[in-house]
Chain A
């Protein structure tokens, strides 16, 4: 019906390999982008910006970084939060040492530092795989958080040990810090996340992405057909950590406004891993769906009782919320173990052949 592909002929290889071989997909994306760029900013309240739109985008970006490593290259990592921390602290040091620096440039550059750290911690992946590698990345997690606590230079010897985002201007408008307007921050986040998403889509569809997938599926076979495993794994670590580092800088500079070291501790790593797994490993769309489920849904559920006028104590709402989100995660994983992205893929396929399923 909506997804009827009859009449859409591909007359060239280019058309067949296009990002959206089905026209409806492109239209759908256009509508989503219109919502993201125009309708949400026009209608959203401060609360919606700060608790739904901005965090969903940032978490989705972090999950995308992890997904490149875990979903595409098959290297399980538990150190995502620490790499986010590297990005955040790098960005903080850059803007405090060089206050004239354009904040967006600083955010994009901070990914470089986490990419470097990511590669260093990715070296063991050449020798160890699977759960053993997860333990090695766990070491990165513990070591880096410890470093954020102990290396006072990183937080400019602040007595509280926390980093506080200063007011940063770009072209006369505050983009970070307490003076910044939520809508401005949202647009900065949206622009960066959009660019990074494009980058990730192209990378994963291209030569590098195929190399990663080959490494993930059967690494010995990949090596036999001439893929350099070292290069493949290390580039995956590099690209992944870069994206995660940028997400970390956005996390602190565009959203939180301040951070203490234990923010980047293991619960955040797990949260991002859950987003990636529930959204769907090896998928770009899944990161967004996962972030909506894990980050957005609890916030929406939390406002529901008040909106419907049901008088329950806030702590009870919190308990119910945790149970409901947990239940939903189990439910979604039971109906589709490969994540929300796969669920969408199946729905879409059914829609294309509807009403004549074979």
Chain B
């Protein structure tokens, strides 16, 4: 009993103080994962996000004169911890950044009730693009279906017809995300799609999957991997001498450290990406000056040159631009969660804006609207040249005419399954 009361007292105290009112700053928590099996891929992203916000705080005194409190809540990529973090931060937060498709699926219905924008750049649920149904969810600038469509476009319809494409994916909501689009395209173009799931337990040892790939001899391997799965797949591909230039990963499978393991043997491996590291960009100089030299960064020289670190910068930029737009619209510096939703819905990141931010070439320009929460920026195909990732394509665009009906149908299905589901009446 004493146990219980004391515990409850501590809990109550913690709950009251943990969510205490913080004046004069915007609370934009990040549900980070610097621990656990996915930490290797998480850390550079988290560092990039954190450094960008720290840079804004140090250089401009925050956004619109208000400091950004970019606190991290550690999830270890565990859904249970993620929900705990969401509950802990939602009282004061103007945004939630769940950082895992599993956590996103879990908190997505809750954000619609709690009315907090959920920012999942480049991940989460692809139909979140439908802003009418998913009023509070944003997967700006590109969704998984965009990624799959861009990959197929890069290969080209004429190269796909009658061919066999293996889809090596994590057996997890994340890995299954692009399946509906790939299946549809397989039927339309006429190629054989061979889904090969990799269980969470088999991530490091994919010999069974690669045996199957050797037996089936697919013409292309499309990979939807994350964390330890990427390194596992790439080393197995090298071991089985699969032609690396026929292997294309999603943006989360394009981590420099995974390719450095194989070095020159990984030459030709491709990864679609909505971001690209531009090392001489003015924003990098500012980060060096205000964050790294001030000893405020958790990152290091090598990591900062990678694709993932710069993607972290882009992701924080999207949030910062959303906050700016909301501040300009409402005329007040301390915006609320619903103001931020307006901001994220009215992003217009043009080339001029990017130049102004010092991020030219780091992300393609994109624009969101009330009905389009993704912005469909398109992306570039990156290729591993043995030492780093380089751009090998012009800007690729996803097939909006194929994706949009699919998005609308899936979103409507989701809304009916979760009825009553509040949809936005205002946008058209």
Contacts and interface: CB of A to CB of B under 8 A. Distances in A.
A167 B419 contact: yes
Contact of A300 (B14, B73, B90): B14
Interface of B: 1, 3-5, 7-8, 10-19, 32, 34-35, 71-74, 76, 79-80, 83-84, 87-88, 90-91, 101-102, 105-106, 109-110, 112-113, 125, 171-173, 176-177, 179-180, 197, 199-201, 410, 417-420
- Of A32, A40, A160, A161, which is in contact with the most chain B CB atoms at under 10 Å from its CB? A160
Nearest to A52: B11
Contacts of A256: 79-80, 83, 106
A78 B327 CA distance: 54
A178 B179 CA distance: 26
A319 interface: yes
Given A45-B16, A48-B15, A300-B14, A313 B4 contact: no
A32 B72 contact: no
A257 to B, nearest CB: 6
Interface stretch (A81-89, A214-222, A302-310): A302-310
Given A31-B1, A160-B125, A303 B109 contact: no
Interface of A: 28, 31-32, 35, 40, 43-48, 50-52, 149, 159-162, 164, 166-167, 177-179, 256-258, 260, 262-263, 265, 289, 292, 296-297, 299-300, 302-304, 306-307, 313-315, 317-319
Contacts of B15: 44-45, 47-48, 303
A47 B15 CA distance: 7
Contact of B417 (A161, A164, A318): A164
**Chain B interface mostly:** helix
26 contacts: A40-B8, A44-B12, A45-B16, A47-B87, A50-B84, A51-B83, A51-B84, A149-B197, A159-B179, A160-B101, A160-B105, A161-B171, A166-B418, A178-B113, A256-B79, A256-B80, A256-B106, A260-B79, A292-B3, A300-B11, A306-B17, A306-B18, A307-B14, A307-B17, A314-B72, A315-B35
B87 A164 contact: no
Contacts of A35: 4-5, 8
A256 B84 CA distance: 10
Given A178-B113, A262-B172, A314-B72, A300 B84 contact: no
Closest 4 CB pairs of A and B: A303-B14, A178-B109, A315-B34, A160-B173
B172 A260 contact: yes
Contacts of B419: 166-167
B173 A161 contact: yes
Given A166-B418, A292-B7, A179 B32 contact: no
Contact of B112 (A159, A162, A178): A178
A319 B4 contact: no
A160 B420 contact: no
Contacts of B197: 149
Contacts of A177: 109, 418
Contact of A257 (B106, B176, B177): B106
Nearest to A45: B15
A179 B113 contact: yes
Contact of A292 (B4, B171, B200): B4
A272 to B, nearest CB: 13
Nearest to A29: B1
A44 B194 CA distance: 50
A317 B15 CA distance: 16
A160 B176 contact: yes
Given A47-B19, A166-B417, A318-B35, 16 more contacts: A35-B8, A51-B84, A161-B171, A162-B102, A178-B109, A257-B110, A260-B173, A262-B200, A265-B201, A300-B7, A302-B84, A307-B17, A313-B34, A313-B72, A314-B74, A318-B76
A319 to B, nearest CB: 7
A160 B200 contact: no
Contacts of B8: 35, 40
B13 A161 contact: no
A133 B50 CA distance: 50
Contacts of B17: 306-307
A50 B14 contact: no
Nearest to B102: A260
Residue of A47, A164, A166 with most chain B CB atoms under a 10 A cut-off: A47
Given A47-B19, A161-B176, A307-B18, A257 B109 contact: yes
A289 B3 contact: yes
Nearest to B101: A160
Contacts of A315: 32, 34-35, 72, 74
A30 to B, nearest CB: 11
B12 A162 contact: no
B43 to A, nearest CB: 9
B87 A50 contact: yes
Contacts of B417: 164, 166
A35 B3 CA distance: 13
A44 B16 CA distance: 10
B25 to A, nearest CB: 15
B149 to A, nearest CB: 16
B74 A43 contact: no
A176 to B, nearest CB: 11
Contacts of B1: 28, 31-32
Contacts of B173: 160-162, 260
A304 B87 contact: no
B74 A317 contact: yes
Contacts of A263: 79
